[in-house]
A and B are shown apart, each in its own frame.
Chain A
Amino acid sequence: MGLALIGVALIIIGFALRFNPLVVVTVSGLATGLIVGLPLKELITQFGEAFTTNRYMSILIVTLPVIGLLERSGLQNQSKHLVSKIKAASAGKILTFYLLIREIAAALGLNSLGGHPQTVRPLIAPMAEGAAEAKYGEVPEKDREEIRAQAAAADNIGLFFGEDIFVAVGAILLMKGFFDQNGIKADPIFMALWGLPTAIFVFIVHSIRLRLFDRKLDRKLGNPGRGKMDSEVVRK
């Protein structure tokens, strides 16, 4: 019985040793299947079947032509340009605003407003980077990466903790179905409402973290408000 956990162990070891995830996942899948006694031919069939059923997970491919073409025409630059006109903008503030919109939209069932390939890469990440550039001038690549990672995180966090506030979302329906099967009364409306405390908490915590992120950038790249001398001292 415990042998089935060898697959899990392989995943953890493989990821920890930074082998290619594709290889790690495949080896773990094959090992798990063989350990529990699936014949090889059936195991490969399982691979093929699940791979085909889950094609929807690769939907980002359908967005590539639009995003690619727009990037070639300067969309990312335009996103930066637009934000650089707003004086009060900062990377953290833009991402807090996006987090808020993403979370509220998801709570209203509008999950598809947002997403990494169609919104974060061409719009949100360049806007946050553009705001930092407008504020500090040159931004080192290391900090740019941090800003982009923050943009991706804001998208995930807003989506996850917003969507369960919407009654008709998959998670709520799954749980309702599960409780029904086990003869326990559950009401989707209350399930959604009891998500609110956590949804509000996560917004507060993450926006505080984004504010601290702004402060960190201020300290590192110089706060224009405090003058150049100050920031040079700090940089040393």
Chain B
Amino acid sequence: MIISTEWIYIAMGIVCLFCSFYTFFDKTNKRRILSGLFYFIYAITLLFGKIIPPFYIGLMVLAMVVIVAFGGLQKGGYGETAPDELEARRKRLGNWLFLPALLIPILTVLGSKLLVNVKIGSRLLLDPSNPTLVALGVACIIAILTAMLLTKSRPQTAFKESRRLLEAIGWAVVLPQLLATLGTIFTKAGVGTVVSKLITKVIPENSVFWIVFVFCVGMALFTMIMGNAFAAFPVMAAGIAIPFLIKRFGANADQIAAISMFAGYCGTLMTPMAANFNIVPAVLLDLKDKNHVIRVQLPTALMTLAFNIILMYLLVR
């Protein structure tokens, strides 16, 4: 392919790398060297993840965690714009400001839908392993060029602003990646099989309602532990849905599948383990309580879980 996912990771790495330089030289940050080092190491793992042997990447990840553990990651100063100045800038461009912002989703959708199988010569244009990611990356590059033209800004300004946002996100930026890593280790250690064995032990074999109940609640709980409904489904379906619901009570597999995945998503709404949906947004939106988004989602998640249990019961019965 012509544009591979690796290129997008390199673009991400470059952003981090420039940010780390600004952090290294930020005199207002008391821990500027350690803070800069955190982003620098992260940049290296993004840029050269494919080249550096995994053992060394692992050591670098641990180094980043150690920096965070001992309070080495601090925020700096960014020369915030005064409200009046910001308002003046807003008036200058008005609704044109939306153009680059809207270019991101629009170009991503167009790119990932229309260009997905397009070939130039004999090579695919977008990496088939993750066309949406590549399309998003390219959309952002077009959007940043548009934004720089519109606002007559230099690339330095864009990097400085990225640093302000990146430092606002701080350690949470690597949390989703690290959680996915934990998921892999949990799977290797057989946590899934243990949990499903425990759950099948409590199952009352002859009551359709309680089987459905344990299955749906199990999907949600397992998803909360692993942070990912995709990991929960095969384990729970093999442990409960196939032997009890489908084979014994002749339940329809399509219905079971649709409803149980949604039961899992109810779990996703309630767990800090799904960091990119629940924790990163809390940081991005400057919420004091990092569980604030989860708190807001909780009632909807519980009601929807109850609905799923009742719906599945009525369909299987």
- Do A and B come together as binding partners? yes
Counting chain B CB atoms within 10 Å of each CB, which of A41, A57, A170, A178 scores highest? Answer: A57
B121, CB-defined interface residue at 8 Å: no
The DSSP consensus for interface residues of chain B is helix
For the complex of A and B, list the 8 residue pairs with the smallest distance between their C-beta atoms, beginning with the closest.
Answer: A68-B161, A74-B90, A48-B57, A48-B58, A48-B54, A44-B58, A194-B258, A52-B49
Interface presence of A137 (CB below 8 A): no
Cα–Cα distance between A72 and B64 once the two chains are bound (Å): 29
Which residue from chain B places its CB closest to the CB of A187 in the assembled complex? B254
Do B308 and A45 touch (CB < 8 A)? no
Q: Does A32 contact B (CB under 8 A)?
A: yes
Contact partner of B58 (CB less than 8 A), chosen from A20, A45, A116, is: A45
- Beta-carbon contacts under 8 Å, B257-285 to A: 257-259, 261-262, 265, 268-269, 272-273, 275-282, 284-285
Residue of B nearest to A199 (CB): B262
Complex partner residue of B158 from A20, A32, A65, A192, CB under 8 angstroms: A65
A positions within 8 Å CB-CB of B: 1-2, 4-5, 7-8, 11, 15, 20-23, 25-26, 28-29, 32-33, 35-36, 38, 41, 43-75, 77-78, 81-82, 109-123, 125, 145-146, 148-153, 155-157, 160-161, 164, 170-172, 174-176, 178-179, 182, 184-187, 190-195, 197-198, 201-202, 205-206, 209
Chain B residues with CB under 8 A of A74: 86-87, 89-91, 93, 97
Decide if A202 touches B304 in the complex (CB within 8 Å).
yes
Contact A153 B261, CB 8 Å, known A55-B46, A174-B230: no
From A8, A55, A61, contact of B15 by CB (8 A): A61
What would be 29 A-B contacts, judged by CB atoms less than 8 Å apart? A4-B191, A5-B194, A8-B186, A11-B182, A22-B64, A22-B69, A25-B182, A29-B185, A45-B58, A48-B52, A48-B59, A49-B57, A51-B57, A52-B49, A56-B130, A62-B15, A63-B104, A66-B147, A70-B147, A73-B92, A74-B87, A77-B90, A113-B109, A120-B281, A145-B286, A153-B293, A153-B296, A202-B307, A206-B300
Least Cβ–Cβ distance between A165 and chain B, in angstroms: 9
Contact: A2 with B194, CB < 8 Å?
Answer: yes
Q: How many residues of B contact A (CB 8 A)?
A: 140
Note all chain B residues with C-beta closer than 8 A to A60: 169, 173, 276, 280
Known contacts A60-B280, A171-B261: A81-B188 contact under CB 8 Å: no
Task: Given A2-B194, A46-B188, A59-B12, verify A69-B46 contact (CB < 8 Å).
Answer: no
The DSSP consensus for interface residues of chain A is helix
Interface residues as binary, B42-64 with A (CB distance below 8 Å gives 1, 0 otherwise): 00011001101111111111101
Task: Report the Cα distance A41→B59, complex, angstroms.
Answer: 10
**Which of A170, A171, A193 gathers the greatest number of chain B CB atoms within 10 Å?**
A171
- Residue on A with the closest CB to B162? A64
Is the C-beta of B31 less than 8 angstroms from some C-beta in chain A? no
Closest to A109 in B: B113
How far, in whole Å, are A38 and B56 apart by their CA atoms in the complex?
A: 17
